[in-house]
Each structure stands twice: as C-alpha cells, then as structure tokens.
Amino acid sequence: MTAMIKVHALQKHFIMHNQGGIRLPVFSDVAFDVSAGEALILHGESGVGKTSLLRILYGNYKPSSGHVLVRHGEDYIDLATATPRAILTVRRKTIRYVSQFLRVIPRVTTLDIVKDPLLARGIDDTMATEKAKDLLSRLNLAERLWHLAPATFSGGEQQRVNIARCFVDPASILLLDEPTASLDAKNRDVVVDLINEARESGAAIIGIFHDEYVRDRVATRRLDLTQFKKAA
C-alpha cells in the first residue's frame, strides 16, 4: 500500500507571547503513516491535540518540529517546510478538510460553494452543477436551499453543505473533524457511506469522531494521542 501521509517526529507547542510567554505543549514524537484505503481515527480526551494534529496535517498550523510528508502526485511534500504556494496547490489537488463549522462566505449560494472545488480543478460548470446537485440530494438538503447562501441555515444544514463540498470531488487525503456532530441518524448514515465509498476508492482518511457508532463503521485503524501528550 502507498503511504499517503507520513508523520515523523512531530512536535507542537504554542507560545503565548501576550500571556507572559507561557509555553503550551500539545504533543511530541508523533509518528504514523496512513496509506491509501485506510481510515485512521484519532483518539484521546478533549485537549489531547486531535484537532491541532488535523490542522497541522492540513498546513493550517505550523509544526514546531518534525515532518509531515504528503503524497502529492508522485512526490512527497513536507508541509513543515513547504512554501505557502506549494501548500495551496496541495490543498487544491490532494487534501480536503472538513471542519465542524462551515466558514460562510457572504452571498455565495450553497450550490456555488459545493461545486467550487470542481470548478477550481477545471471541470466544466454543467458537469460540476450536476455532481453538486446529486450530492446535496443524497444528503437530504432541501432543494429550496440550494440557491441560498448558507448563512441562515441550521447547524446541521451547514454541516451537510460542508460535507458535500468535501465529497463532491474526494481528494486522495480526507481530513474529517467531527463531520457528523450535528447530524440526525439518517444523514449520519449517509455521511458514513460517503466516507467508506471514498476510502474504498483509494482515499486515505484521518478523522475525529466522538460518536462511537460512526467510529465503528468508519475506522480501519485507531491512534490514541494520549501517549504523545505525556511525552510533550
């Protein structure tokens, strides 16, 4: 199996300059690989650094030391040292990140948000619209909402828009931070199916799920971050 992500000797701490320069350790010596077709579920109590790790894997947080090698095409890019432009390219083509919250852009309609990753990759508008609509229907998002900006949507509706945006064009690496948190059982199952379909077609998945039901249906492997916390 091809490793899609290789994490090596990863260490992260925050220094709060405006609070007396206090050093907040998150974790250290984190090391793991995730291959295509695997779903790694991050474990550990709140504050153990699950979300921080996921953000580092997306290039959103800078590692304090260590390496995050992401397979991009035929090569590995080290997100710890990559240029901003390289990271943006990797995000556009290789990594998708779904957070718990949708970052709403003023005035942009649901349909436009969902089809944006396809358009950014150069898929033509008709095709992109069709795929976006299919996915929104599958996630049971009422059609009357498609042409509205999601600013006024409920938490569950916004989350489904976020998920649709991710799975409309599943990249080879998916980072999922509680994507099912505010969903009802029916939609939760749809998301579970989407995740498994993506994994079966070769995506490497790293996720955080509090819901044991979802974890059991999605995970191929688990990683408890508590061990790295101690070391930090």
Partner 1 sequence: MSTIKNRLSVDENAPILTATALTRLYGERVGCRDVSFSLWPGEVLGIVGESGSGKSTLLRCLAGQDRPTSGTIALNFDGVPINLFDISEPMRRQLMRTKWGIVHQNPRDGLRMDVSAGGNIGERLMDRGDRHYGKIRSSALDWLSRVEIETNRVDDYPRQFSGGMQQRLQLARVLVPEPKLVFMDEPTGGLDVSVQARLLDLLRVLVRDLGIAAIIVTHDLAVARLLTDRLMVMKDGAVVEEGLTDQVLDDPHHAYTQLLTSAVLAA
The DSSP code for 105 is P
Residue 149: which of 108, 102, 103 has the closest Cα?
A: 108
3-class SS at 41? strand
Which residue lies nearer to partner 1 by CB, 69 or 198? 69
124 scored as a contact of partner 1 (CB under 8 A): no
212 scored as a contact of partner 1 (CB under 8 A): no
50 scored as a contact of partner 1 (CB under 8 A): no
132 scored as a contact of partner 1 (CB under 8 A): no
Pick from 108, 127, 148, 231 the residue near partner 1 by CB under 8 A.
108
Q: Minimal distance in Å, beta carbon 147 to partner 1?
A: 15
**Which amino acid is present at 232?**
A
How far is Cα 198 from Cα 120, in angstroms, rounded to an integer? 20
Pick from 20, 75, 122, 185 the residue near partner 1 by CB under 8 A.
75
Residue 219: which of 180, 185, 192, 182 has the closest Cα?
A: 192
Q: Which stretch binds partner 1 (CB under 8 A): 103-111, 125-133, 181-189, 195-203?
A: 103-111
Q: Which stretch binds partner 1 (CB under 8 A): 32-40, 73-81, 211-219, 221-229?
A: 73-81
Are 219 and 39 a contacting pair, CB within 8 Å? yes
Pick from 35, 89, 100, 182 the residue near partner 1 by CB under 8 A.
89
117 scored as a contact of partner 1 (CB under 8 A): no
Task: Mark residues 7-36: x for contact with partner 1 by CB under 8 A, - for none.
Answer: -------xxxxx------------------
Give buried/exposed letters for 128-151 (b at 16+ CB in 10 A, else e). bbebbbebbebbebeeebbeebbe
How far is Cα 110 from Cα 108, in angstroms, rounded to an integer? 7
Q: Minimal distance in Å, beta carbon 88 to partner 1?
A: 6
CA distances from 170 to 22, 38, 173, 177, 194 (A): 40, 14, 8, 15, 10
Q: How many helices (H) and strands (E) does the chain have?
A: 8, 9
Q: Minimal distance in Å, beta carbon 216 to partner 1?
A: 31
Our measurement of the distance from residue 195's CA atom to the centroid of its chain's CA atoms, rounded to an integer in Å, reads: 11
Pick from 39, 54, 57, 69 the residue near partner 1 by CB under 8 A.
69
Which residue lies nearer to partner 1 by CB, 80 or 132? 80
Binding site for partner 1 (CB under 8 A): 14-18, 55, 59-62, 69, 71-72, 74-78, 81-90, 105-108
